[in-house]
A and B are shown apart, each in its own frame.
Chain A
Amino acid sequence: MIQVPGCRPPWWRLPRLPAWSVLPLLAGCGDAHLSFLDPQGPIAAAQRQHFWWVIVITLTVVLPVLVLTPLILWRYRYGGHARYRPHWAFSKLADLAIWGIPLVVVAVLGSLTWRSTLALDPYRPLPSDQPPLEVEVVGFDWKWLFIYPEQGIATLDELVIPAGRPISLRLTSASVMQGFFVPALGSQIDVMNRMVTRLHLEADAPGVFPGRNMQYSGREFYRQRFVTRALSADDFAAFTTRAHAQGRAFTPEVLDRLMAQNTHAALARALGGHTEDSHADDGATGDTSGVSDEHTVPATLGALDRAPLHFTRLPSDLFAAIVAHRAPDWDHAIAPRPANPPLSADATPGATP
């Protein structure tokens, strides 16, 4: 039985590893939550389990090689006195073992793979007593736009989510193929132009987790990173209110600038304002300033702590228009909606909406 996020852990669940066990890997990371070995959500936690289980099971065939090869090399060395049988070339028992044991191991791994893959399908909504928060993600060259259709706001390079509530992401690229990834929370998924992929994530508790593009997309690829901030429900509500109040209007000019090849800092400069941190992207660790007063970003996230850009008064069909390569309907901005509407129908990858 594979742990389905939200269910009771099965009996074989690995004991929760003490923090020091990953210390050599994470030395110096502080609370940056770089890896799924330091999981901050149910998906990443399950992935960490699968990771160790696969290694442990596979080691049953790998370890004998690592141990026996040096022993054989030594025992049967030239000049040694062990038995020499130059024509010995077959043993039924040995053959049974070397075909049989890998077969059993692969059978075990296969069943684990089948169940874990279905359980952690990124398209599968997470079980929860709360409705998921819908977020639409657009990968531009070289920044990420996060659209909150229910809240009528959008953020650049900052995915703000309520902790403990599932997030349902619909993703596309306005440029070449990219890979959306928040290691501490869960799976990565490719985002492609004219196509919509889906991903479901959840954060256990408030925190800040780095995310980025994983698929090489040109000159400033290495700077295409974002922060994921998980907030308590109240803080999240406060965030949306503030973004509404302080965010800039999403105008055709903003969309043009987003479509151009540039980095977060260059875009912020071009849109005016927030220029005080414009060299944050050039490597210096700038101060967090401007409207952001949420969780302080750990210094180890380096240049990630730049002032966020928030937008409001979005065209209601912004995401669909970007996917379909058409101009959005600038006359109809999203009105802030109160509650959470039901899940929209699943979009299949490759299908043009």
Chain B
Amino acid sequence: MNDSTHWLLGRLDASALPFWDALQHPTTKSVVNAVIASGAASLVIIGALVVVFGLTWLRRWGWLWREWLTSPDHKKIGIMFIALALVMLARAVIEAVFMRLQQALGLDGGFLTADHFGQLFTTHGTIMVFFMAMPFLTGIINYVMPLQIGTRDLSFPVMNQISLGLTAAGAALVMISLVLAPFSTGGWTGYPSFTERAANPGAGVDYWIWAVTLSTLSSTLSGINFAVTIYKRRAPGMRWMRLPLFTWTALCTAILMVFAMPPLTVATALLALDRYLDFHLFTADLGGNMMNYINLFWAFGHPEVYILILPAFGIFSEVFSTFAGKTLYGYTALVIATLAIAVLSFTVWLHHFFTMGQSAHINAIFGIATMLIGIPTGVKIYDWMLTLFRGRIRLSVPMIYASGFIMLFVLGGLTGIVLAVPSVDYQVHNTLFLVAHFHNMLIPGLLFGMLAGTNFWFPKAFGFRLEERWGRRAAYAWIVGFMLAFFPLYALGVLGMPRRTVAFFTPAYLPWTLTAMVGAVIILLAMTCLLVQLWVSVRDRHLNAVPIGDPWDGRSLEWAVSSPPPEYNFPVIPEIHGRDAFMLEKERGKAYQVPDEYPDIVLPANSAMGVIVAVTGTAIAFGLTWYQWWLVLLAAGITLAAVITRGFCRDTTRTLPGEEVRRTHLNWLAQVRATVPIDRSQEQSCANRGLPLPPVEGAIQ
């Protein structure tokens, strides 16, 4: 490194390569770790090259640009969010398997270095929360919510693109950190003073700061977009108490995003001020106090838990009532419970640090506040059970996830109550008991919800059902794998094994870490089943096609349109007459009607803003991480120029002639008339073209 390259590369040099350390100090352990890290890095590079060459070979660049990257369509943005989430899920699951393997071999050593292990648990947590869960739920809300409330798009389509761009930039940064290492070892919570420059001067923490900052900005914008859309763009007659429950949870999540994401953006920004400009906000000396960071972090962190879980609650509500063929039990109670959870989620953040030395009275109050959340959550669980009660339950894939969820989630709730009692928390805090608890909430809660949602709405989005057999295998493997991987961690936690420990010296831990390893392998199998399911489904897409669009005898508006839906969603904005809007139409024999007229439709025009923000966001964050100031200035300049230019752009919409809409719609209606409706016993057969028999009260379907 000399002065001539320093202005260009900043502090980036050859030591950032994942095998550099092994070249300098070749020991068995460092070589093994270098091989693993370099393997991961080359996977990133090879993956990127395959995509680039594939697109060039198939001459698909233009198509990708026009149809996807610059599309303001909420459905396409939603699908891109989910695709991103699945890629990141794959990486984070592989990391989890490595961690489990390390701890299975970790008695007195193992094969990973402590730093490598630190990066694994930090990236695993950061990815799972910010680049798997958040894009996954944002994608599903993006796709489903406008269809459910009967509108054509979100209120701010370009802002939606920018949300995607920012999340993609953050995810890109985390992927780049595999090639130009290291990432932070400070955990997904990034507590100072460990993450201050004094303790960790390297680029790792900066990678983490900017990746998380990009993600939180993205989610704040998404939250605003969703909330405004639900407030302002509901179809006529879609009153509050007629909203599908998923939309209710989407609204509460959106509000939580608006209020809970900024504290983290602020916390990471202040930490950046400490690291870059020598502020002393969270340092030990010169008046700083790291407890302020911890409070800010959890002011975000606890509502975040409900941001993650509420959309899944919404999905399960839809799944339970659809696959039980029954009205949701206690709609009003479920709405009240959702709102109560959203409000209470802001009042419990302190339970993440009962051990920090505050007075017992404060701990007790926050412990009790935490338990209060158990009430509305318990009500929800029982409402779902009563929804199943007196139903006709088809145990299809989303329903398997939902049933697994309901039984595993209450166990997580049980351990959550254990953790909420401060006197007991003093014993299990920071142990693997805690790790087991939040995975017990987030895997059955969030991930099963997302996977149930994917299986549920996939035919809506792509026009064909996902293959059922491999879907079931994946679902059961997830459930079994989860139990084997995480129940042992409860035992380990009670035995005092700390989280984030690369190795241990207590032989009593070994049987449990080995069992957890088996669970991790089964989860890996579940991931493989998901891949096979996707592959088989795409292969058999013509057999499983559901062009009419209602394969599950659905209840809300999204099932009223073709699969996949036209880009304008509804040829004519429907009028809503009650809850379960589409089921009501079917019951009254008013589904699939020809409207009186087809007005012209105004849609948002394509825009490159999302792509620009993704590229410049990545560049700014990368430049900041490695001190390449020219790159930061250049990318920031481009962003500013793009935003200003966009402000002068007047061609922001395009109009679709009503005649074209009429032709498409009548074609589809003709197809509806020509299709043989099926009863539920044929749901999983190729006779299911997406047209159910009209419902008859009391009939055994």
Contacts and interface: CB of A to CB of B under 8 A. Distances in A.
B693 to A, nearest CB: 13
Interface in A34-73: 34-37, 44, 46-47, 50-51, 54-55, 58-59, 61-62, 65-66, 68-70, 72-73
Interface in B323-363: 324-331, 333, 353, 355-361, 363
Interface string A59-94: 101100110111011001111101111111111001
Contact of A176 (B193, B363, B372, B495): B193
A302 B505 contact: yes
Nearest to A283: B108
Given A188-B427, A283-B109, A304 B505 contact: yes
B375 A216 contact: no
Interface stretch (B71-79, B237-245, B385-393, B473-481): B385-393
A84 B410 contact: no
A202 B103 CA distance: 32
Given A27-B511, A187-B355, A86 B424 contact: no
A62 B421 contact: no
Contacts of A198: 357
B360 A123 contact: yes
A89 B331 contact: yes
A117 B363 contact: yes
Interface string A218-237: 11111001000000000000
A187 B363 CA distance: 14
Contact of B290 (A58, A87, A109, A192): A192
Contact of A34 (B374, B388, B406, B496): B496
Interface size, A (range)? 35 or more
B429 interface: yes
A51 B431 CA distance: 15
Select the residue from A72, A103, A213 with max chain B CB neighbours within 10 A: A72
B417 A54 contact: yes
Contact of B423 (A26, A66, A68, A120): A120
A190 B393 contact: no
Nearest to B121: A216
Given A51-B424, A89-B331, A119-B423, A78 B394 contact: yes
Nearest to A187: B426
Interface stretch (B6-14, B154-162, B376-384): B376-384
Given A69-B406, A86-B325, A216-B187, A55 B364 contact: no
Contacts of A114: 364, 368
B393 A303 contact: no
A106 B681 CA distance: 43
A70 to B, nearest CB: 8
A123 B395 CA distance: 53
A26 to B, nearest CB: 7
Which of A58, A120, A183, A186 counts the most B-chain CB atoms under 10 A from its CB?
A58
Interface in A106-154: 106, 109-110, 112-114, 116-124
A90 B329 contact: yes
B407 A65 contact: yes
Contacts of A110: 368, 371
B430 A188 contact: yes
A117 B360 contact: yes
B495 A113 contact: no
A303 B507 CA distance: 11
Contacts of B491: 25
B356 A349 contact: yes
B375 A106 contact: yes
B504 interface: yes
A55 B410 CA distance: 12
Given A117-B360, A118-B360, A87 B429 contact: no
Contacts of A58: 413-414, 417-418
Given A118-B360, A301-B505, A76 B199 contact: no
Given A34-B496, A106-B375, A176-B194, A72 B388 contact: yes
Interface string B563-595: 000000000000000000000000000000000
A113 B421 contact: yes
A300 B680 contact: no
B357 A216 contact: no
B700 interface: yes
A32 interface: yes
A121 B354 CA distance: 11
Nearest to A102: B378
B375 A103 contact: yes
A217 B194 contact: yes
Contact of A98 (B372, B383, B390, B406): B383
Contacts of B697: 86-87
B333 A95 contact: yes
A87 B695 CA distance: 11
A183 to B, nearest CB: 4
B500 interface: yes
Interface string B186-207: 1100011110000100000000
A193 interface: yes
Contact of B414 (A59, A217, A225): A59
Given A65-B385, A69-B403, A217-B194, A187 B501 contact: no
Contacts of B410: 61-62, 65-66
A28 B508 contact: yes
A99 B379 contact: yes
A34 B368 contact: no
Contact of A175 (B199, B328, B331, B374): B199
B420 interface: yes
Nearest to B185: A218
B47 interface: no
B422 interface: yes
A132 B389 CA distance: 60
A113 B371 contact: yes
Interface string B672-701: 000000001100000000000001011011
Given A102-B374, A118-B364, A219-B115, A25 B494 contact: yes
Contacts of B495: 25-26, 29, 34-35
A84 B700 contact: yes
Interface of A: 25-29, 32, 34-37, 44, 46-47, 50-51, 54-55, 58-59, 61-62, 65-66, 68-70, 72-73, 76-80, 82-91, 94-95, 97-99, 102-103, 106, 109-110, 112-114, 116-124, 175-177, 179, 181, 183, 186-190, 192-195, 197-198, 210, 212-222, 225, 283, 300-304, 325, 349-350
Interface of B: 108-109, 114-115, 118, 185-187, 191-194, 199, 284-285, 289-291, 324-331, 333, 353, 355-361, 363-364, 367-368, 371-372, 374-375, 378-379, 381-383, 385-386, 388-395, 403, 406-407, 410-411, 413-414, 417-418, 420-424, 426-427, 429-431, 491, 494-496, 498-508, 511, 680-681, 695, 697-698, 700-701
Given A195-B357, A300-B506, 16 more contacts: A36-B496, A62-B411, A65-B407, A66-B407, A69-B385, A77-B395, A84-B325, A102-B374, A102-B379, A112-B421, A117-B423, A179-B429, A188-B426, A222-B501, A302-B507, A349-B357
27 contacts: A34-B495, A47-B426, A58-B417, A69-B385, A69-B388, A76-B392, A77-B392, A86-B392, A106-B371, A113-B421, A116-B421, A117-B363, A117-B421, A118-B361, A120-B422, A121-B360, A177-B191, A183-B496, A188-B355, A192-B284, A197-B357, A198-B357, A212-B498, A216-B501, A218-B194, A220-B114, A325-B285
